[in-house]
Amino acid sequence: MDKLVQMKKLIVVIFGITVMLGCKNESEKKAQPIDDAQKEVSTDTNEKTLKQSDGLTLLKGEFLYMADAAVLQTHREIYGVVIDEKMHELNDLVAAFKKEPTDMIPVEIRGKIIQKPENEEGWNFRVEIKEILNVTKPNPDESDIIKLGN
């Protein structure tokens, strides 16, 4: 009888350790970051579409261009935007939705993300716009603008 009790305790301890190790391995798997290749493939097969193979990234965020600086703020990152013909084209499209010069307008673009050179100031990453997909009217209920008055 004493051996039976010891055997049951041993089985419970082994089972508990197995469960704890299994949970630890599962949480490690969940914590691994997803690389760009995994984000781009949305089907069960490993085949990529033509757009997914062109090296461009889909970015959705709010765009602002003032004087000599342009930014795209996504939910994760703020990008400096390369000032070129495509950026000016996007700025012309968002102008229709601006009420104030400082309004940020929701956009959807595809572009090439570039690391900022170390000897320059600015955001860590830049985006060179290659394709403008969508420009939408800002939601007035989600305004983060603070105006100071007398």
Band of the pLDDT at 38, cuts 50, 70, 90?
very low
Q: Is the pLDDT of residue 15 over 70?
A: no
Where are the chain's structural domains?
51-140
Q: Is the pLDDT of residue 91 over 60?
A: yes
pLDDT of residue 113: 95
Question: Which backbone phi and psi does 42 adopt, to 5 degrees?
Answer: -110, 0
pTM: 0.61
pLDDT of residue 52: 65
For the chain, the distance separating the N- and C-terminal CA atoms, rounded to the nearest angstrom, is 87
- Please state which CATH class domain 51-140 belongs to: mainly beta
CA dist., res. 129 & res. 72, Å (int): 10
Structure-model confidence comparison of residues 30 and 108, the more confident one? 108
pLDDT single digits (tens) 42-77: 334 445 456 667 889 999 999 999 988 999 999 999
Task: Write down the residue that tokens 């033509």 correspond to.
Answer: 50
CA dist., res. 150 & res. 147, Å (int): 10
Q: Is the pLDDT of residue 13 over 90?
A: no
